[in-house]
Amino acid sequence: MDRYIIRGASENPPNEPQNNTTNIGESSGKRAMIDTNMLHNEIVSDTAKRKPIKEYEPTIRDDVRRRYVQMGPYKPTSHIFPSTKYGDRQRSFQASWLNNWDWLEYSSSEDAAFCFWCYLFGDKRAGDQAFAKKGFRNWKKALSKFRDHIGLDGSVHKNAQTLYFGFKDQRQSITRKFSLGIEVTGAAYRTRLTVSVDVARLLLGLGLDFCGNDKSSTSIRKGNFLEILSWYSLRNIDVGKVVKQNAPVNHQLTSLYIRKQIVGGCASETTKAIISDIADKYFSLLLDEARDNSVKEQMVVIIRYVNNLGDNLERFFGVVLVATACVERTFSAMNVVKSNL
- Mean pLDDT for 310-334 is 71
More confident residue, 33 or 123: 123
pLDDT at residue 324, rounded to an integer: 54
For residue 224, being part of any structural domain is answered with yes
pLDDT at residue 72, rounded to an integer: 87
pLDDT at residue 316, rounded to an integer: 86
pLDDT at residue 8, rounded to an integer: 41
For residue 133, being part of any structural domain is answered with yes
Task: Quote the distance between the C-alpha of residue 300 and its chain's center.
Answer: 49
pLDDT at residue 1, rounded to an integer: 38
For residue 273, being part of any structural domain is answered with no
In terms of domains, do 99 and 140 share one?
yes
pLDDT at residue 15, rounded to an integer: 45
pLDDT at residue 197, rounded to an integer: 92
For residue 300, being part of any structural domain is answered with yes
Weakest mean pLDDT among 33-42, 54-63, 86-95, 265-274: 33-42
Q: Where are the beta strands (DSSP E) in the chain?
A: 21-27, 30-35, 83-86, 89-92, 104-107, 112-115, 283-291, 297-306, 312-321
Express as a percent the part of the chain with pLDDT over 90.
Answer: 7
Is the confidence at residue 120, as pLDDT, over 50? yes
In terms of domains, do 285 and 208 share one?
no
Tens digits of residue pLDDT in 1-22: 344 334 444 444 444 444 444 4
For residue 304, being part of any structural domain is answered with yes
Tens digits of residue pLDDT in 155-202: 888 888 888 888 887 655 666 666 666 666 788 888 988 999 999 999
In terms of domains, do 165 and 178 share one?
no
Residue at a domain's end among 17, 45, 71: 71
Per-residue confidence band for 331, with pLDDT thresholds at 50, 70 and 90: low
pLDDT at residue 124, rounded to an integer: 64
Residue at a domain's end among 45, 71, 97: 71
Pairing of the two strands 297-306 and 312-321 = antiparallel
Furthest C-alpha separation in the chain: 115
Please, are residues 85 and 116 in contact by the beta-carbon 8 Å criterion? no
For residue 266, being part of any structural domain is answered with no
Report the C-alpha gap between 323 and 171 in whole angstroms: 61
Please provide residue 90's backbone torsions phi and psi, each rounded to the nearest 5 degrees. Answer: -95, 125
Is the confidence at residue 292, as pLDDT, over 90? no
Residue at a domain's end among 126, 142, 170: 170
Tens digits of residue pLDDT in 267-284: 889 888 888 888 888 989
Number of domains in the chain: 4
In terms of domains, do 183 and 238 share one?
yes
For residue 272, being part of any structural domain is answered with no
Please, are residues 320 and 299 in contact by the beta-carbon 8 Å criterion? yes
In terms of domains, do 213 and 283 share one?
no
pLDDT at residue 201, rounded to an integer: 92
- Mean pLDDT for 44-55 is 84
Per-residue confidence band for 104, with pLDDT thresholds at 50, 70 and 90: very high
Which one, of 141, 139, 82, lies nearest residue 109 by Cα?
A: 82
Report the C-alpha gap between 67 and 44 in whole angstroms: 10
Please, are residues 122 and 156 in contact by the beta-carbon 8 Å criterion? yes
CATH number of the structural domain spanning residue 294:
3.10.450
pLDDT at residue 326, rounded to an integer: 53
Report the C-alpha gap between 131 and 147 in whole angstroms: 12
In terms of domains, do 87 and 122 share one?
yes
In terms of domains, do 100 and 158 share one?
yes
The DSSP annotation for 155-186 comes to: SHHHHHHHHHHHHH-GGGSHHHHHHHHHHHHH
pLDDT at residue 26, rounded to an integer: 41
For residue 263, being part of any structural domain is answered with no
pLDDT at residue 16, rounded to an integer: 43
Highest mean pLDDT among 6-10, 40-44, 110-114, 322-326: 110-114
Tens digits of residue pLDDT in 204-213: 989 898 887 7
Express as a percent the part of the chain with pLDDT over 70.
Answer: 76
Tens digits of residue pLDDT in 226-253: 889 989 888 888 888 888 888 887 778 8
Which structural domain range is residue 149 located in? Answer: 83-170
- Mean pLDDT for 98-116 is 89
Please, are residues 120 and 58 in contact by the beta-carbon 8 Å criterion? no
pLDDT at residue 45, rounded to an integer: 82
pLDDT at residue 83, rounded to an integer: 87
Report the C-alpha gap between 272 and 269 in whole angstroms: 5
In terms of domains, do 109 and 144 share one?
yes
Is the confidence at residue 132, as pLDDT, over 60? yes
